[in-house]
């Protein structure tokens, strides 16, 4: 055994990762630097000439990246909120208040054996979770998260959202058929029947809103609801909002409409034969889908990123730190030190037994909280997209909480009750809402004018 081999064998797993990844990153960085030096001008010219393509790539990357923390946050909410509803503590060991346990669950799923059953169609079996995942997150490309924060503002954005969201059933059917398992096939067929049934009232529930808005652009629909909360379409279309919420719950396969994976009847439905990463993709997509169905509900009926009142307006905050020159560097070096000492002093003086280093740690933490709050306040008041993003996420997670609440409260319905409710109640109610809205528009004298 050579000296290099002996040294390698003595390294810990972390050391092996560092000595493997760091050289690769250095080589990639040097290669990227060389490409920029040689072809930098050509790359800049190409990006400037194709800004729409650059915007799409950036938006798609942002959507993919945000799906990971979104899923982990909703998984944590389910574990913690349902535990509190059942008078249990819930996760409280891994991370602050157990917040990292959902990450551990994700890593655990990835570490399990990825098994393909005998007789399965391997290609379709593998592609099914990819189709479900991509169909789930592609709808986020047209959701306006704030003023200017959207992937693409299309005149047919709502039609695109419904079309892409409906592709989820294709992936579930692929999973059920390719698994070579009767329980999986039955789960896939159930998903097809459920999605087709509830897609009709889901689509019809927003037709009345579209007649009022005069557009299918989700950004324009949001702009129409600016001002006081009384301008939100939920007050003009309360029945449509209720139908949309119920149908979206069924589309997302959430309780009490989670019949596609009814463990008491068909084992695990379409996912019976899945394990490892492919199994994780299905339920990763399901948790992201909770956010995806909440976002259009907020956008269409609850004002989107608009605040419920016309204040605060974005205030022009004229800050130019560069004008301070060398003073800016001095402030960056001195202000944190002075702030930490000032906030640590009361704790050190109040308790003579407290060591000075503990008081400094408390002061440092408090200073960072105060500084973060100040930066957040300036950004909220001065940048309209920051305020809009916060309002949008706040409203959306109210409905995410509602979905979690329903899972911890409501029992699962029977499949015949599920189908009967869609065709006997939701479909007539959505048609009634459409006819009443059309009659009201005729009486008033035309659709509500869209915002400029």
Query: What is the per-residue burial (b if ≥16 Cβ within 10 Å, else e) of 328-355?
Result: eeeeeeeeeeebbeebbeebbeeeeeee
Domain boundaries, the chain: 67-309+387-444, 321-382
Using pLDDT thresholds of 50, 70 and 90, give the confidence band for residue 445: low
Residue with the bigger pLDDT between 318 and 361: it is 361
Note the pLDDT of residue 313. 55
Q: Could you tell me which residues come within 8 angstroms of residue 412 by beta carbon, excluding any fewer than 6 positions away?
A: 255, 256, 257, 258, 259, 262
Mean pLDDT, range 140-166, rounded to an integer: 87
Query: What is the per-residue burial (b if ≥16 Cβ within 10 Å, else e) of 210-238?
Result: bbbbebbbbbbbbbbbeeeeebbbbebbe
For the stretch 5-26, pLDDT in tens is: 666 676 666 666 676 777 888 8
Report in angstroms the alpha-carbon separations of 116 from 131, 141, 176, 280. 18, 33, 13, 14
Alpha helical stretches, state H, 90-165: 101-111, 122-137, 157-165
Above 90 in pLDDT, residue 238? yes
State which of 19-33, 147-161, 255-269, 364-378 shows the largest mean pLDDT: 147-161
| Residues listed for the chain | 452
Note the pLDDT of residue 244. 94
Mean pLDDT, range 224-237, rounded to an integer: 90
Mean pLDDT, range 322-349, rounded to an integer: 74
Above 80 in pLDDT, residue 264? no
Residue with the bigger pLDDT between 355 and 449: it is 355
- Around Cβ 374, how many Cβ atoms within 10 Å? 10
Lowest-pLDDT choice from 69-83, 296-310, 405-419: 405-419
Above 60 in pLDDT, residue 146? yes
What six digits make up the tokens of 76? 């944590």
For the stretch 301-323, pLDDT in tens is: 998 898 888 865 555 555 566 56
Mean pLDDT, range 278-307, rounded to an integer: 88
> Any idea of the CA torsion for 419, 422, 425, 431, to the nearest 10 degrees?
-150
Residue with the bigger pLDDT between 445 and 84: it is 84
For residue 380, the SS3 value is: helix
Residue with the bigger pLDDT between 400 and 1: it is 400
Note the pLDDT of residue 452. 41
Note the pLDDT of residue 446. 55
Mean pLDDT, range 370-382, rounded to an integer: 78
DSSP character string of 155-197 = TTHHHHHHHHHTTHHHHHHHHHHHTT-HHHHHHHHHHHHHHHH
- Around Cβ 254, how many Cβ atoms within 10 Å? 19
Above 70 in pLDDT, residue 364? yes
Note the pLDDT of residue 187. 79
**Using CA atoms, how far apart are residues 201 and 207, in angstroms rounded to an integer?**
10
Residue 336 host element (H or E): helix 326-350
Mean pLDDT, range 342-367, rounded to an integer: 78
Lowest-pLDDT choice from 12-26, 207-221, 365-379: 12-26
Q: Could you tell me which residues come within 8 angstroms of residue 154 by beta carbon, excluding any fewer than 6 positions away?
A: 142, 160, 217
For the stretch 93-128, pLDDT in tens is: 887 888 888 888 878 877 777 777 777 788 888 888
- Around Cβ 437, how many Cβ atoms within 10 Å? 21
Using pLDDT thresholds of 50, 70 and 90, give the confidence band for residue 450: very low
Residue with the bigger pLDDT between 34 and 114: it is 34
Above 60 in pLDDT, residue 449? no
Note the pLDDT of residue 134. 87
Q: 146: which strand partners? A: 149
Q: What is the mean pLDDT of the chain?
A: 81
For residue 258, the SS3 value is: coil
The answer to whether the CB of 255 falls within 8 A of the CB of 246 is: no
């Amino acid at each position: 055994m050579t000296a290099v081999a002996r040294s390698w064998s003595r390294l810990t797993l972390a050391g092996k990762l560092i000595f493997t990844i760091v050289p690769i990153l250095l080589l990639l960085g040097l290669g990227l630097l060389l490409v920029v030096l040689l072809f930098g001008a050509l790359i800049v010219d190409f990006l400037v000439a194709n800004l729409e393509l650059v915007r799409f790539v950036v938006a798609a990357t942002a959507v993919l990246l945000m799906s990971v923390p979104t899923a982990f946050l909703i998984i944590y909410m389910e574990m913690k909120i349902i535990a509190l509803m059942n008078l249990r503590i819930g996760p409280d060991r891994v991370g602050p208040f157990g917040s990292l346990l959902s990450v551990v669950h994700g890593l655990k799923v990835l570490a399990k054996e990825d098994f393909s059953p005998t007789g399965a169609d391997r290609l379709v079996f593998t592609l099914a979770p990819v189709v479900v995942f991509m169909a789930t997150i592609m709808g986020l490309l047209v959701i306006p998260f704030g003023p200017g924060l959207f992937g693409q503002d299309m005149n047919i954005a709502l039609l695109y959202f419904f079309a892409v969201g409906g592709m989820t059933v294709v992936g579930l059917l692929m999973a059920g058929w390719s698994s070579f398992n009767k329980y999986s096939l039955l789960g896939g067929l159930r998903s097809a029947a459920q999605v087709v049934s509830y897609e009709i009232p889901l689509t019809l529930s927003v037709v009345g809103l579209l007649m009022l808005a005069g557009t299918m652009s989700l950004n324009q629909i949001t702009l129409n609801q600016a001002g006081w909360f009384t301008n939100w379409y939920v007050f003009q279309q309360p029945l449509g909002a209720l139908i949309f919420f119920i149908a979206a719950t069924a589309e997302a396969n959430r309780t009490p409409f989670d019949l596609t994976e009814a463990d008491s009847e068909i084992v695990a439905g379409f996912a019976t034969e899945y394990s490892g990463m492919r199994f994780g993709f299905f339920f990763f997509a399901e948790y992201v889908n909770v956010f995806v169905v909440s976002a259009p509900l907020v956008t269409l009926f609850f004002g989107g990123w608009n605040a419920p009142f016309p204040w605060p307006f974005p205030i022009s905050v004229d800050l130019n730190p560069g004008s301070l020159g060398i003073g800016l560097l001095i402030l960056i070096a001195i202000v944190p030190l002075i702030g930490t000492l000032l906030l640590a002093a009361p704790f050190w003086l109040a308790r003579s037994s407290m060591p000075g280093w503990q008081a400094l740690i408390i002061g440092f933490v408090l200073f960072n909280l105060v500084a973060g709050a100040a930066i957040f306040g300036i950004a909220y008041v001065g940048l309209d997209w920051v305020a809009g993003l916060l309002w949008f996420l706040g409203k959306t997670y109210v409905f995410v909480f509602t979905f979690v609440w329903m899972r911890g409260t409501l029992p699962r319905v029977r499949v015949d009750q599920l189908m009967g409710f869609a065709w006997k109640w939701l479909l007539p109610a959505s048609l009634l809402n459409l006819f009443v809205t059309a009659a009201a528009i005729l009486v008033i004298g035309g659709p509500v004018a869209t915002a400029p």
